[in-house]
């Protein structure tokens, strides 16, 4: 097998090759680092490399395979988002405020990855504190989209998605407070899963905020790899008091079960101001693929109201509260685009913040009734494909389909389901005429990652994508 092909193997394929003694974890780790050295300078996806640790973990993985005691991810290379705490590995959150911060404990999910035998390649780039959906910061600069280097990766798991799309490891860990797994997965042409809120414990955090919005989850090139990652990372841990009890489900095994004749809704509305015409057409065509499986696909919209202002209130108020103990230093060192946030947040009151929670309940009332009729909801993952990155920072495009839009409109398909906590995934479903990936969002009922994964798996088999690679 050529060294280049090794970098494009899935985690499950790697594990099978180790089992058959066709490849070794050390050999694979070295090969992936060679790939990283080649492409990372172009895309700026991995910002802290852990070569020595990876070699140590890879050697241990080889010993475990030889002794017949491999973990679930034994020898699989993985990257970890720089918002996620890693013991002994610098965790900056993309901020000069934490430029030299080295945690003395692991996040729960990182602990589980270590115990499963994963090999840590390094930490991936983020917008500072993950506050926006465009990956850039003052410490490391922007990540670049592997399909077009002048375009953004999206965010906030932009480095993670770009790494996976470029052959720097088959899997990555991200998190998602308003679309931060699904958005960059869509823009970079990979699979991203936001499990149900609390399915993967979220503890600890470098700074407070987003406590009831943040979801941890995998970014992968295949659906099976995401299911495998979820099997490792999911499950209750009392360090996160909001974590869910054990589901009793093996997510990887569940993929082989029949999809069933589901009733599925598709919309390109969802209170979004405008949608790129190519994105709308590509995702509509993708939705009709589910009819090939015997599902009923209906164009229907739940009729939710726009919660972009609610998201803004949460982001600004939480950011101010998280940094009030060093507010002057934050104003001096934070990303220039963010600095006004700290003053703008002062205009909001406690009543404004509580009103968000009231509207959140109203949103769920609408969606609960909608999901009584449908098993799944399909939408575009983002309202537009990747757009040109602008030096100095940006929140999003000024226009979509020739219409002026607010900065949050382009991600309006994702954040409603952070408010409700439902599982949702972005599946690669096609390319624009200019060669940019488009993602289809699959949203499930509460606690039902299984149906989301099964639907994504069926779509992947019917319209495979993992063989399509950017020309870096």
Q: Is residue 123 part of a domain?
A: yes
Residues 22-60: pLDDT tens digits?
A: 999 999 999 999 999 999 999 999 999 999 999 999 999
Catalytic, out of 10, 17, 157, 180 = 180
List 10, 17, 24, 81, catalytic entry: 81
User: Is 467 within the bounds of a domain?
Assistant: no
pLDDT of residue 435: 98
What pLDDT, on the 0 to 100 scale, is given for residue 391?
Answer: 85
Q: Alpha helix locations (H) across 214-306?
A: 223-233, 251-254, 277-288
| Cβ atoms within 10 Å of 357's Cβ, excluding its own | 12
- Whether residue 409 lies inside any domain: the answer is yes
Q: Which segments within 177-306 are labelled E, that is strand?
A: 191-194, 215-220, 263-266, 296-299
Q: Is residue 277 part of a domain?
A: yes
Bridge partners of residue 218, in order along the sequence:
173
Distance CA 269, CA 150 (A): 29
**Would you say residue 100 lies in a domain?**
yes
Number of domains in the chain: 1
Which pLDDT belongs to residue 434? 98
Q: Does position 269 have pLDDT exceeding 80, yes or no?
A: yes
The pLDDT of residue 161 is above 90: yes
pLDDT at position 370: 98
The pLDDT assigned to 156 comes to 98
> Average of pLDDT values for 285-297?
98
pLDDT of 199 higher than 80: yes
pLDDT of residue 241: 97
**How far apart are the C-alpha atoms of 153 and 145, rounded to whole Å?**
5
Above 90 in pLDDT, residue 281? Answer: yes
Assign 274 a pLDDT band (cuts: 50, 70, 90). Answer: very high
Give the CA count within 13 Å in the CB-facing half-sphere of 177: 23
pLDDT of residue 338: 87
Is 118:80 a contact under the CB 8 Å cutoff?
Answer: no
pLDDT average, residue stretch 103-130: 98
Predicted confidence (pLDDT) at residue 3 exceeds the cutoff of 80 = no
Predicted confidence at residue 444, as pLDDT, reads 98
Question: CA-CA distance, 369 to 176, in Å (whole number)?
Answer: 25
Place of tokens 């149906």: 451
**pLDDT grade, residue 4 (50/70/90)?**
confident
The catalytically annotated residue of 156, 185, 202, 381 is: 156
Selected residue with higher pLDDT from 92 and 391: 92
471 inside domain: no
Distance between CA 456 and CA 425 in Å, rounded? 8
What percent of the chain is modeled with pLDDT above 70?
A: 100
* Residue 156 bears catalytic tag: yes
pLDDT tier for residue 392 given thresholds of 50, 70 and 90? confident
Residue 44 is encoded by which pair of tokens?
């700026």
pLDDT of residue 106: 98
Q: For residue 194, what are the contacts with CB-CB under 8 A and spacing of at least 6?
A: 176, 181, 182, 215, 217, 417, 418, 423, 424, 425
Question: Look-up: residue for tokens 């509460």?
Answer: 446
In a domain, 470, yes or no: no
Which residue shows structure tokens 């609408």?
366
381 classed as catalytic: no
Task: List, for residues 362-388, the tens digit of each pLDDT value.
Answer: 999 999 999 999 999 999 999 999 999
Range of 276's domain? 3-462
**pLDDT for 201:** 98
Q: Would you call 243 a catalytic residue per the annotation?
A: no
Digit-coded pLDDT (tens) for 47-95: 999 999 999 999 999 999 999 999 999 999 999 999 999 999 999 999 9
Chain mean pLDDT for the chain: 97
Residue 444: give its domain's CATH number: 3.90.1300.10
């Amino acid at each position: 097998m050529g060294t280049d092909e090794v970098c494009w193997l899935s985690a499950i394929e790697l594990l099978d090759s180790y089992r058959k003694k066709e490849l070794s974890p050390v050999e694979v780790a070295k090969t992936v680092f060679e790939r990283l050295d080649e492409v990372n300078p172009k895309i700026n996806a991995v910002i802290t490399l852990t070569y020595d640790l990876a070699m140590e973990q890879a050697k241990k993985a080889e010993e475990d395979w030889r002794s017949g005691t491999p973990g679930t991810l034994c020898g699989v290379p993985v990257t970890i988002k720089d918002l996620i705490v890693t013991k002994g590995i610098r965790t900056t959150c993309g901020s000069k405020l934490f430029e030299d911060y080295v945690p003395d404990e692991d996040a729960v999910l990182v602990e589980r990855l270590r115990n499963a035998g994963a090999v840590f390649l390094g930490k991936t780039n983020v917008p500072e504190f993950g506050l926006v959906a465009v990956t850039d910061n003052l410490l490391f600069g922007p990540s670049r989209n592997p399909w077009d280097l002048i375009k953004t990766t999206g965010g906030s798991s932009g480095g993670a998605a770009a790494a996976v799309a470029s052959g720097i490891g088959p899997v990555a860990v991200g998190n998602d407070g308003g679309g931060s797994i699904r958005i960059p997965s869509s823009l970079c042409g990979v699979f991203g899963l936001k499990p149900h809120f609390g399915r993967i414990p979220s503890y600890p955090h470098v700074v407070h905020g987003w406590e009831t919005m943040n979801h941890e989850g995998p970014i992968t090139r295949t659906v099976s790899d995401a299911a495998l990652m979820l099997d490792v990372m999911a499950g209750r841990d009392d360090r996160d008091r909001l974590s869910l009890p054990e589901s009793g489900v093996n997510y990887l095994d569940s993929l082989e079960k029949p999809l069933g004749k589901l009733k599925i809704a598709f919309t390109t509305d969802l209170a979004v101001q405008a949608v790129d015409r190519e994105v709308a057409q590509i995702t509509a065509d993708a939705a009709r693929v589910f009819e090939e499986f015997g599902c009923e696909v209906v164009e229907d919209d739940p009729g939710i109201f726009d919660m972009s202002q609610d998201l803004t209130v949460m982001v600004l108020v939480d950011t101010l509260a998280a940094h009030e103990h060093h507010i002057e230093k934050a104003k001096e060192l934070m990303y220039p685009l963010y600095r006004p946030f700290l003053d703008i947040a002062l205009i909001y009151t406690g009543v404004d913040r509580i009103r968000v929670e009231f509207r959140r309940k109203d949103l769920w009332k609408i969606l609960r009734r909608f999901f009584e009729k449908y098993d799944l909801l399909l939408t575009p993952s983002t309202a537009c494909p990747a757009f040109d990155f602008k030096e100095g920072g940006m929140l999003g495009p000024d226009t979509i389909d020739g219409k002026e839009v607010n900065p949050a409109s382009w991600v309006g398909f994702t954040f409603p389901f952070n408010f409700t906590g439902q599982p949702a995934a972005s599946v690669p479903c096609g390319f624009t005429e200019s060669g940019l990936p488009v993602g289809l969002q699959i949203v499930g009922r509460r606690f039902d990652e299984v149906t989301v994964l099964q639907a994504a798996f069926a779509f992947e088999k019917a319209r495979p994508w993992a063989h399509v690679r950017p020309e870096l």
